Amino acid sequence: MTRDHGLAVAGLHCEVDGKQILRGIDLAVEPGRVHALMGPNGSGKTTLALALAGHPHYTVTAGTATLDGADLLALSPDKRAKAGLFLSFQYPAAIPGVKVANFLYAARQAVRPGDLTPAKFRGLLLEKMDALGMDPSFLGRYINDGFSGGEKKRLEMLQMAVLAPRVAVLDETDSGLDVDALKHIGESIESLRASEAGKETGLLVITHYPRILRYVKPDVVHVMLDGRIVKTGEAELANRIEREGYDTVRAESGAVA
């Protein structure tokens, strides 16, 4: 991948409240490919996601991050989203009073103003919901208000389908899901990945446990420990972690316990 195609992160350092969390991240996510970022709690995975998204409490102190060649770190959070960066939250917030349909239309307009009439947008929305196996009645509900964990994550998959981002960062999408919901979300991600728009979207799947990778097949697996990516390999690396845990990788890399 060239630096002007997809997400490219080099030597990224980040601190939170004066404490250094990321200690030099190098990562490239290409369009149409799935990168899994694995690591135990506290290793810095979510910090990376929020730093890329521009959360004000996460201060990048060194390094670069570009999206299709543009300096991501120079952009405000909303402009990062407009440039094509999508972040799926670990714990999506509820917004009572705002209907799903209205929210999705506003989000699409913000990213791609005027590209679809309301009627054509509704057609796109129904098409994506059908592909994801979602009932149209979902559109009349308030955002995440009374939603189950699985419904919240399915709504985020619908958002991703509607926005068709250049890079989607899925931060522990498997968190809080039962086995059936996890399988459904995994199938939803694979369905989006196989679509025409999905072939132009790079995915960074952040996870603590390898269970979601049974349903979402990664092209590349990275292991993060102590704020660094210490090992990169193919899908078998996730299987090895499931068998042996992170301690073996920690010992091999000399990462701090």
Residue 230 belongs to a domain with what CATH number?
A: 3.40.50.300
Structural domain of 41 = 7-253
pLDDT in tens, 104-153: 999 999 999 988 899 999 999 999 998 888 899 999 999 999 998 888 88
Q: What is the pLDDT of residue 236?
A: 93
Q: Is residue 64 part of a domain?
A: yes
Total structural domains in the chain? 1
> Within a domain: residue 1?
no
pLDDT band for 4, please (50, 70, 90 cuts).
Answer: low
pLDDT for 69-80, tens place per residue?
999 999 999 999
Q: What is the H or E stretch that residue 247 is in?
A: helix 247-253
pLDDT in tens, 157-200: 999 999 999 999 999 888 778 888 888 888 888 888 888 777 89
Task: Answer yes or no: is 2 within a domain.
Answer: no
Tell me, what's the pLDDT at 3? 46
Domain-located, residue 143: yes
Entry pTM: 0.91
Please report which residue ranges of 112-178 form alpha helices under DSSP H: 118-132, 149-163
Q: Is residue 38 part of a domain?
A: yes
Is residue 151, in this structure, part of any structural domain at all?
A: yes
Task: Cite the beta strand spans of the chain per DSSP E.
Answer: 7-16, 19-29, 34-38, 58-67, 70-71, 85-88, 95-99, 142-143, 167-171, 202-207, 220-225, 228-233
- For the chain, the maximum distance between any two Cα atoms, rounded to a whole number of angstroms, is 57
